[in-house]
Chains A and B, each alone.
Chain A
């Protein structure tokens, strides 16, 4: 791959920071003009905040704009069902209607897309796919159910746009998918990190050595695990392929970050199409490079639902573009999406982050699935790691694994005792989309 061949859009991916800021400001002004002219939500919120688009003289003026929260979006949907007051037009202007995945149990956000917006979403995937080395000669297998959750829809159209031979996995069994991706000679597979592991487990059960298959790249999305080093290493080993992390969200319709072929330990932000801020989760002040905070996104893409300063609740730590040697001018999120700002659990005075627990669990390749369960007995919080090892794991091997897990978990959590329990084969839930492995059954979680 030549140096000039590594970018989807060489002109803007290699801009210097000052030039990038000029481009972002120009797009921001136009987006704010558009929102002020057409979106009932922004007309009201701008008025209440005393903001007018003419006030945007520099990018620092971005902070004059009010922040948007998911709660405000949901309230707006309630006020003007089904789409709320953010959209600039109704369903008659759209060609797609999607919703959030609903994995949190909350009412989903409903989004619309026009023809242009939908094409732009595929375009964002092209930045990421090309950046991770996918090329028109590839054959891609998309292990995705193609439902109302937006998920990998944009990837599908991005692959087509690039000229990649694209195989939609659709709704079928995991066994069927393993057989199909082999039959079609897939060189690229797209799935969640959890499902990439599940496919590998199924392949092993079928006696298939995926590492000997033509698959050379995995495109991961939907969960932070794509950037958890231990999980990524396990996936890469089981598949004998490179795994590239991406992250997106229904609220913008597509991805906003991707990992390049240099794999610098983070994901580049597509900064010619987004303005990404990192704020103190407890307030609205920006944090510096390297500090963890809440990701706040302004998207220049979707026109029917302008998105300005949306608090995503994603926990990230931004680092400068110079951290990567690929030549892009785009800053990165070190370690990808680190989790959610409300992920952290407080157990007997100790902070527990599900991401850290997963990192420890994934050092044991013999574990098929796991679950973190928090309960309360009287005033005493219990935390248990329920583990489903491979079915042929002997009692002796399990005892050794459990001991090592308990020791590593305690050492990583100020001596907090985790009860490590063995679950039976198939007992724990499996996930195709976003995995939910933390079950907090405390009535009134303390800081949870």
Chain B
């Protein structure tokens, strides 16, 4: 299994890996163009919540405007 690192260059922990995975799965869902309004709004909220987590932990730093967030 490939080792991932955070923005500090440290290996990520199992919890951080799980959080990154959740974040990326939410983003992937948000890319869909056939989501019902209630689904899109909820997934967007979840993605933004996880963005704050991965950003706070120095795991990822990116913008979400192209995903409508």
Contacts and interface: CB of A to CB of B under 8 A. Distances in A.
Contacts of B64: 114-116, 303
B8 A22 contact: yes
18 contacts: A9-B56, A15-B8, A22-B7, A22-B8, A31-B61, A34-B63, A88-B63, A93-B65, A114-B64, A114-B65, A114-B69, A115-B44, A116-B51, A120-B52, A272-B56, A272-B58, A300-B61, A303-B65
A277 interface: no
**A: interface residue count bin:** 20 to 34
A411 interface: no
Interface in A107-131: 114-116, 119-120, 123
B55 interface: yes
Interface in A17-46: 19, 22-23, 26-27, 30-31, 34
Contact of A26 (B51, B52, B61): B61
Contacts of B61: 26-27, 30-31, 300
Contact of B49 (A9, A12, A119, A303): A119
Contact of B7 (A26, A89, A120): A26
A197 interface: no
Given A123-B52, A272-B58, A116 B63 contact: yes
Contacts of A304: 65
Contacts of B52: 119-120, 123
A411 B62 CA distance: 54
Nearest to A89: B65
Contact of B58 (A11, A93, A119): A11
Contacts of A120: 51-52, 55
B39 interface: no
B43 to A, nearest CB: 11
Contact of A119 (B9, B48, B68): B48
A299 B29 CA distance: 28
B8 A19 contact: yes
Interface of B: 7-9, 44-45, 48-49, 51-52, 55-58, 61-65, 68-69
Chain B, interface SS category:
loop
A123 B63 CA distance: 16
Contacts of A22: 7-9
Contacts of A119: 48-49, 51-52
Nearest to A120: B52
A46 to B, nearest CB: 18
Contact of A303 (B8, B44, B57, B63): B63
B41 to A, nearest CB: 9
Given A116-B51, A119-B52, A23 B65 contact: no
A114 B51 CA distance: 13
A303 B61 CA distance: 10
B45 to A, nearest CB: 8
Contact of A12 (B45, B51, B58, B62): B58
B58 to A, nearest CB: 5
Contacts of B56: 9, 11-12, 123, 272
Contacts of A9: 56-57
A23 B51 contact: no
